[in-house]
Amino acid sequence: MTDSYNQYLAYHEGQGGWKKKSFNSKIWLLNAAKKVESNVYKYNNQLMECEKKLNKLGATSFKTFDKTKERVNLFSTISGKKKLNEGGIILSGHTDVVPASNKGWASDPFVSTKKDNKIYGRGSCDMKGFIACTLALAPYFASENLKKPIHFSYTYDEETACQGAPVMLKELQKRKINCSVCIVGEPTNMKAIQAHKGCYEYSTHFFGLAGHGSAPDKGVNAVEYATKFINKLMELRKELKKREPKNSIFTPPYTTLQIGRIKGGIARNVIADQCTVDWELRPVVFEDGVFVNQTMDKYVKDVLLPDMKKTHPECSIKKEIIGEIIGFNKEEKSEAVNLICNLTGDNSRDVVSFGTEAGLFQEIGISTVVCGPGSIEQAHKTDEYVSFDELKLCLKMLIDLKDQISN
């Protein structure tokens, strides 16, 4: 089986369940993992079709991969008839989506359904609508005498701490491809977004000692210690509100912290020997991330672990860093933001609390803006959709971009 198959099982069962192979007794889960594996092949093939389409138009492309070689980034460049290489504009989108089950959906979440002037499906809003628009306009960019190249950047695993973008950007720098502007097409109702918070994602794993539920003092309950860990995080949530920077441009104006998932134990009468807490931090300033991590690391080292080891010296707590994505910072004079405002005719500039890969492009010196069709209010939800009206606005923006950079 492939890495995607195994990762899906491990995600659902946790480290303890994975080691014990508890998934083998769950036929429904094994079938779901096989479907995920099948979808990986299907979606990678679809990405390769995108590459073929762009290359037929005269684009030059390169791909980068994760360590398993299963997840793929695609970067394609249309230089136009003049074959220019400097000062290009990147149209950036991510190819992954968050999970979805058929439960609660009015239609199959992984089949595009057109109804009531909307396109329904997982990822239609976040953010395949933008990718579809860029591909639709590719032939028109290719037919022009462009003043600067257009780059199509499609990355993997944005939804899990933007794991694909850094791999692609490293290769971009290695190849010395110099770009002036990046448009990240996340759903913003086609408004120019000039800043957002960072996004730090963690999984903290607790390893205790199993035993019979009738004798709790003879075991070390990983779930109980995970609960203490969470309670400490909730204390820090209050502290973060007090650390709100003056004149913060974000809503909410302070760094947020939340628990996404808790998984541990096998039965109510068994002392849980393992538990995992998935949590995230969205810092307004870098110092808040340092504050939370140092505080929690000290609490684990000085309080939780010594108490666990009194009963069983082999107990442990391990922090897994899923990703620490830097924020996207407001610039006083942004070429990218000014470009979008000029193209859309809307001079409003906003900020958001959700994260994107924008800060990563900005970090390597590319002026960046977030702007795309759809509303974030529809993303990650049952019956996710993007309206045709939003897609038309995006197409018009890209057509105007083509006209602006063409002779």
Residues marked active site are found at 96, 158
Long-range contacts from 237-240, C-beta under 8 angstroms, 24+ separation: 239/291, 240/288, 240/292
The Cα–Cα gap between 184 and 155 comes to 11
Are the CB atoms for 254 and 241 separated by under 8 Å?
Answer: yes
Q: Which two tokens stand for residue 316?
A: 């442990």
Say whether the peptide bond before residue 127 is cis (omega within 30 degrees of 0).
yes
Long-range contacts from 211-219, C-beta under 8 angstroms, 24+ separation: 211/270, 211/271, 212/269, 212/270, 212/271, 213/268, 213/269, 213/270, 213/271, 214/269, 216/271, 217/311, 218/271, 218/311, 219/271, 219/273, 219/311, 219/312
Are the CB atoms for 397 and 344 separated by under 8 Å?
Answer: yes
Counting Cβ atoms within 10 Å, is residue 388 exposed (0-12), middle (13-18) or buried (19+)?
A: middle
Q: Which two tokens stand for residue 25?
A: 């007794």
Give every CB contact of residue 371 below 8 A, 6+ residues apart in sequence. 183, 184, 185, 188, 190, 191, 192, 193, 340, 344, 397
